[in-house]
Amino acid sequence: MRDDAASPLAYGGLGGWFEIGIAGASVGADLHGTVTKLSSTLTDGNRPRERDIRLGLGLTVLRPVSSGVRLGGRLDARLSGRFHYYGDPAFQRAVFMFGTATLGPVAEWVTTIGSGRVTVVGALPLAGIALRPWSDARLVLRAGQGPRFVTFPKLLAASARVEWTPRVNLPWRVGYRLDLVRYHDPLRFRSVAQGFYAGFAPGGRRP
């Protein structure tokens, strides 16, 4: 992660991720979030450091177009708060907020491999609204304040996941997910998050 509003350093770390969703035949909704502790490998003593908290809500609509392939759209709203702890003796802290509401296409491909089913899902928002209050306050004379309407590629918020479920009727699944965020106002924001997960989905399939 790198946010020029807070620091020119790049930060990385480990954290937890959760998702709670409901799924129908073609429509699904999900609530997801992460908590990550970040530090910079370019500095000594793990200072400055950051803690990143994100919360998101998504609505997905998918329709079958051929065997194993569904296409549709996704509406996604996300809010992140980054607690930046500076490296001075006073341990001063600042909070940097970043929010988006995006809309774009989503595609799903399902196939059978071995003893399980593999699902690949990818989404690429094409337009949305971005809110970055700290950057606005600092650059008010040039950038203005408040939410901005943005389009791809100024805002890149792509996501993908690969998920495996057993062919037998068991309510568990494992997978890998990747999230990319890049936003350009006068100060740049870039973030890459990835991880493996395991979970349960009794009685249905992912929309």
pTM (predicted TM-score): 0.80
CA gap 135, 98 in Å, rounded: 10
Q: What is the distance of C-alpha 205 from the center of its chain?
A: 21
Domain containing residue 152: 2-200
Banded model confidence at residue 83, pLDDT cuts 50, 70, 90: confident
CA gap 75, 105 in Å, rounded: 9
Banded model confidence at residue 107, pLDDT cuts 50, 70, 90: very high
Asked if residue 207 is part of any domain, the answer here is no
Torsion of CA 89, 39, 78, 148, to 10 degrees: 70
Q: Is the pLDDT of residue 193 over 70?
A: yes
Asked if residue 185 is part of any domain, the answer here is yes
Question: What integer is the mean pLDDT of 69-88?
Answer: 89
Asked if residue 206 is part of any domain, the answer here is no
pLDDT > 70 in the chain, percent: 81
CATH of the domain at 120: 2.40.128
Asked if residue 138 is part of any domain, the answer here is yes
Q: What is the pLDDT of residues 15-43, one digit of tens each?
A: 888 899 888 889 999 999 999 888 776 65
Number of domains in the chain: 1
Asked if residue 38 is part of any domain, the answer here is yes
Asked if residue 178 is part of any domain, the answer here is yes
Question: What integer is the mean pLDDT of 74-82?
Answer: 93
